[in-house]
Amino acid sequence: MNRFDLHTKILIGGAGLDEVLRGMHRVFIVTDKFMAESGAVKYLTDRLAAQHAEWRIYSEVGPDPDISMISAGVGMVLDFAPEAVIAFGGGSPIDAAKAIVYFAAREFDMHDCPFIAVPTTSGTGSEVSKFAVITDRDKGVKYPLIDDSLLPDYAVLDAELTKSVPPKVTADTGIDVLTHAIEAYVCTEANSFTDALAEKAMELVYQNLLTAYQSPNDMEARQNMHNASCLAGAAFSNAGLGLCHSMAHALGAQAHVAHGRANGILLPYVMSFNAGCDRSALTKTAERYAELAALLELQATNLRQSALNLIRTVRRFESKMGIPHSIRDAGVSAADFERMLEPMAEAAIADRCTATNPQSCTKEDIIEIYREAYTGRSILVRT
Ligand SMILES: NC(=O)c1ccc[n+]([C@@H]2O[C@H](COP(=O)([O-])OP(=O)(O)OC[C@H]3O[C@@H](n4cnc5c(N)ncnc54)[C@H](O)[C@@H]3O)[C@@H](O)[C@H]2O)c1
Ligand SMILES: [Zn+2]
């Protein structure tokens, strides 16, 4: 990789948002039903009312936004002609808003229309990434759009917004952060800049995720997880991701498993494959896992055990937060899994995240990893 880019200005807390919105008259908000109906969106509308601004809310975004949700949002943007767009919610509304702005900009000049992302989950890092993941429900595929123009102009990090996130979502989104940090650290385009971000994200997740899960009102843990999510987002936006994300996109699209949960199920198996735990020789990626293990003071006397300690730590975190260890335990029947396997493997090999995975892989490798993840055959048995 020959460049490192952080386009997005990061504002900590809500005060900076008032500054950015000053003088805006027409603001378009993209969120989901829950955030609109629970009143959480008053975080924005109270501010806009105080500034005598007009707003329009598009809240028809569901989990894993699809093409129809995007085109409805584009229509509303073109009709409303906003001076600013705010994405408010988890990764689903933020990705939807990114795609809406991306497509609306083809028909309407959005150059002087700031795009502001306000994440309310600590997970995707979408507020600072050039990725937007869109689902094609007819084809059963999730596509990562990757483009510099998808980078928000501002990200507002206010952990107060995450206090209401239920433990299951804290678990899934927290494991998504962990997966971003690990995949960005070992992927083919990693460099010292992205390593620094991924390492800090790893430390913060290691120190804070279980606390945020067990004590939702612990604001120090919540803010640290919010920062970790953003740091990991900046790392993978520049370095890329890997096979776990490709396989999770396909699993999510076919079996409707939440994004973070799909990553959590697959990560230990993909790490084991990437490290070469089941082959005679450990890979360079095993060395990178051992570096992360050392960062967390989990290193052992040899490389294999150090890499395994990291994989086992991922598993330990997942066990403590009730994340299933297999696709079967996530509720996918054997018959459904067999039907989905071939299309999932096809989609995963074609996914843009596979190109930056540290080990090259074939469709057969992916099928084998899915099969292991289906039955939950222990990675510890494989070594
Ligand atoms: N663009 C990227 O870089 C990137 C990276 C990873 C994942 N993604 C995508 O992001 C999506 C997943 O995002 P997510 O994991 O944040 O989930 P999400 O946005 O789908 O939200 C999950 C649930 O949490 C609820 N929620 C959100 N904030 C809440 C709050 N403060 N209090 C209570 N409930 C709240 C939502 O209403 C929803 O029911 C997937 O589509 C995934 O593919 C994008
Ligand atoms: Zn992710």
Chain segment 202-258, per-residue pLDDT in tens: 999 999 999 999 999 999 999 999 999 999 999 999 999 999 999 999 999 999 999
Tell me which residue has its CA closest to atom 28 in ligand 1. Answer: 120
Is any atom of ligand 1 closer than 6 Å to the C-beta of 183?
A: no
Please tell me the predicted confidence (pLDDT) of residue 381.
Answer: 44
Closest by CA position to 105, among listed 48, 153, 141, 56: 153
Residue 48 has pLDDT above 50, yes or no: yes
Contact call for residues 31 and 59 (beta carbons, < 8 A): yes
Closest by CA position to 166, among listed 121, 103, 229, 232: 121
Is the Cα torsion angle 5, 245, 190, 118 positive or negative in sign?
positive
Q: What is the arithmetic mean of pLDDT over 102-106?
A: 95
pLDDT, mean over the chain: 95
Please tell me the predicted confidence (pLDDT) of residue 1.
Answer: 58
Contact call for residues 358 and 271 (beta carbons, < 8 A): no
Q: What are phi and psi of 263, to 5 degrees?
A: -60, -45
At 277, the pLDDT band (50, 70, 90 cuts) reads: confident
- Please state, as a whole number, how many other Cβ atoms lie within 10 Å of the Cβ of residue 59: 18
Residue 352 has pLDDT above 50, yes or no: yes
Is any atom of ligand 1 closer than 6 Å to the C-beta of 66?
A: no
Please tell me the predicted confidence (pLDDT) of residue 279.
Answer: 72
Return the best residue to mutate from 122, 131, 133 for the ligand 1 pocket (most ligand atoms within 8 A of CB): 133
Residue 31 tokens, joined? 């969120």
Return the best residue to mutate from 126, 135, 226 for the ligand 1 pocket (most ligand atoms within 8 A of CB): 126
Q: In the chain, what percentage of residues exceed pLDDT 70?
A: 98
Q: What is the arithmetic mean of pLDDT over 126-134?
A: 95
Residue 146's DSSP bridge partners are 131
Q: What is the arithmetic mean of pLDDT over 314-334?
A: 97
Please tell me the predicted confidence (pLDDT) of residue 380.
Answer: 56
Please tell me the predicted confidence (pLDDT) of residue 383.
Answer: 41
Please tell me the predicted confidence (pLDDT) of residue 14.
Answer: 86
Tell me which residue has its CA closest to atom 6 in ligand 1. Answer: 124
Alpha-carbon distance values, 369 to 128, 268, 375 (Å): 30, 10, 10
At 378, the pLDDT band (50, 70, 90 cuts) reads: low
At 379, the pLDDT band (50, 70, 90 cuts) reads: low
At 329, the pLDDT band (50, 70, 90 cuts) reads: very high
At 336, the pLDDT band (50, 70, 90 cuts) reads: very high
Which residues, other chains included, contact 107 with Cβ-Cβ below 8 Å and sequence gap of 6+? 74, 78
Closest by CA position to 92, among listed 149, 158, 176, 20: 176
* pLDDT one-digit tens code per residue, 182-197: 999 999 999 999 999 9
